[in-house]
Structure 1
Amino acid sequence: MRMRATLGVVTGALALSALAVPAAQADGSQGDTAITKVAVNITNKVYVGTTAVKFKVAVTATDNSGILGADEFDLYGPNYGLLTTSKPTCTASSATTSTCVGWVTVDPRVGDLFNNNSGTWYVDAWIDAKDGDYLWKEKAGAFKLQRATKVSTNAAPEPVRKGKTVTVTGKLTRANWETGVWNGYGSQYVKLQYKKAGTNTYSTLKTVKATTTGALSTTTTATYDGYYRFWFAGNSVSAPTPSAADYVDVQ
């Protein structure tokens, strides 16, 4: 008889108090069951703003007898972050291999996340095989669950004469999961990028440091018709984001 510590967690709910922290568990297995791939939200990146986000957790496993099913996947993050998926649905791709998919809806508005839960999260998985084999794997996969960011861009004047100065302003903001608002994200480095009209690639003109309130301002020289945008590369707890492009007509 298998033994597994369980938690009374509703799908998508977060346990943050010390009382909700599960006892440490070690990996366990019987037979030849193996996990070959874990993908969260396809890209292993989940960016959450101030509203609900639904994402999937897909675990691919193999066993010589085939995969019978999987328990709900537990997701663990910084500062006791805890989410649990729906009951996974397993779909066979061969006689030995299946991909089991569970879903999570996370909503900061109902307390699913606190700001210090942003960062690297891990997937714990229990897989059952048809012949009674099983695999319990802690940290079977990792993904980023981060606070979403926004950045705006305004280039002026429009139009502008060739060789004259273009002033580009904007603001970098970040989702506050605890208050439900977008706050200015200060003292971060943001790239000013430019794409000449008729081309497909942006080039970086310079790097700009946001003020303490997230405000951005810099200048550049007008050369050709084209698009300006700010690009924030993100960090360990904040998602990357480009602004919408602002077109400037050069005369």
Structure 2
Amino acid sequence: MVSDPSGVQSVSFELWHGPNRAEADGRMAQVGFDRCVKITENTSKCQAVVDADPYDNLRSNALAGTWGVSAVAVDGAGNVTREDDAPWPARIKRQTHLSQADATPEPVKKGENLTVKTDRNGWATTTVKATADGEYRFDFAGTSLTQARAGRTDFVDVK
């Protein structure tokens, strides 16, 4: 929420990661807000969405976690107000990948063990009892630092 007796002309912000803004090891800036709604003549509520590109501004999973926010507002008279350590931190999560599951053996007899794995190294491997024809996949619920993700499915024929 931004408020000034002369109204609000524009708002922008910068996200930064590190011990403080001066020593930031990651930055993302947004000039202007996607959605500013005038609440009263002097107050606007602004929201924005920042696309974080892991190949550009999030070069490392070490940048996941809490980011600081610096905001700049320009009032109707052209005065600039800067808040370098805004009290609303942003949470950035690590990117998550799940490849297609590959269940073996196929076909499998009812009641026998079915092993679902994602790659030749055995990452994300589990064993389940085969009970009926169906599709198997991994669902990762996510964590406070990692995105939730659902993998692609593999159909299994149970005899």
Which TM-score bucket, shorter chain as reference?
0.5 to 0.7
The 3 A distance-change label for structure 1 pair 155 and 78 is farther
| Alignment gaps of 5+ in structure 1 | 1-34, 36-60, 172-212
**Greater percentage in strand:** 1
| Alignment gaps of 5+ in structure 2 | none
Distance 2:126 2:49 in 1: 43
TM-score, structure 1 normalization: 0.47
Q: Is 2:66–2:90's contact at 8 Å kept on the other side of the alignment?
A: yes
Provide Cα deviations, 1:66-108, integer angstroms capped at 9, x if missing partner: 42222x3121113622222224466334434434456756555
Q: Is 1:74–1:82's contact at 8 Å kept on the other side of the alignment?
A: yes
Report 1:27-38 matches (<5 A). 35=1
Report 1:1-251 matches (<5 A). 35=1, 61-63=2-4, 66-70=7-11, 72-78=12-18, 80=24, 81-88=26-33, 91-96=36-41, 97-100=43-46, 107-109=53-55, 112-115=57-60, 116-130=62-76, 136-137=82-83, 138-152=85-99, 153-171=101-119, 215-251=123-159
RMSD across aligned positions (CA): 3.4
The residue aligned with 1:21 is none
> What is the CA-CA distance between 1:229 and the residue it aligns to?
1.7
The 3 A distance-change label for structure 1 pair 78 and 233 is farther
Query: How many aligned residue pairs are there?
Result: 149
Q: Is 1:169–1:217's contact at 8 Å kept on the other side of the alignment?
A: yes
Provide Cα deviations, 1:145-192, integer angstroms capped at 9, x if missing partner: 233121231112333332122111115xxxxxxxxxxxxxxxxxxxxx
